Amino acid sequence: MSSVKITSDEIKYIALFENITGAITKDVIIDDDRLIFVVKEGDIGRAIGKRGINIKRAKDMLHRNIDIVEFADSEVEFIKNTLAPARIKSVSISEKKDRKVAIVNVEPKDRGIAIGKNGKNVARARLLAKRYLNIDDVIIS
């Protein structure tokens, strides 16, 4: 896992998100109209809150859509988490010509969930895989 540098704007978002949710937040990515928070392993429930109340509060306060991804030490588990709630059958990571690629085999019914509207979910997975794992691409199969 590579180390991530955080800007002062990101630190402000993390502090506010932690105050709202009580979840320990490792990182935030400012991505167009959304904020992608990476929370400590085991804190996803706390971050979401009962019936999604914490996400709603954060969305209202920050005026942006909120995505939450649970961190994992394992590359495979982390990639699965970036595509949640899609059910993942398997993840294989391969290297070809100095490019590291994760091929994710998804349950057929969950393919749309994994890709997301306008490809937003797979884009989130690619962004986080590059940032944390130095994986150049995530392919849904």
Q: CATH number of the domain that 86 lies in? A: 3.30.300.20
In this structure, the answer to whether residues 134 and 93 fall within a common structural domain is yes
Last residue of one domain, picked from the residues 42, 70, 98: 70
Residue 95's domain comprises: 75-140
Nearest by Cα to 125 from 117, 115, 87? 115
In this structure, the answer to whether residues 65 and 42 fall within a common structural domain is yes
Query: What distance in Å separates the CA atoms of residue 106 and residue 103, rounded to the nearest whole number?
Result: 10
Q: What is the pLDDT of residues 42-63, one digit of tens each?
A: 999 999 999 999 999 999 999 9
Domain count, the chain: 2
Residue 115 has pLDDT above 80, yes or no: yes
Residue 2 has pLDDT above 70, yes or no: no
pLDDT band at 103 (very low <50, low <70, confident <90, very high): very high
Residue 37 has pLDDT above 90, yes or no: yes
Last residue of one domain, picked from the residues 26, 45, 70: 70
| pTM, entire model | 0.91
The two three-digit tokens of residue 84, written as one number: 């949640």
pLDDT band at 30 (very low <50, low <70, confident <90, very high): very high
Place of tokens 């691409």: 137
Residue 44 lies in a domain: yes
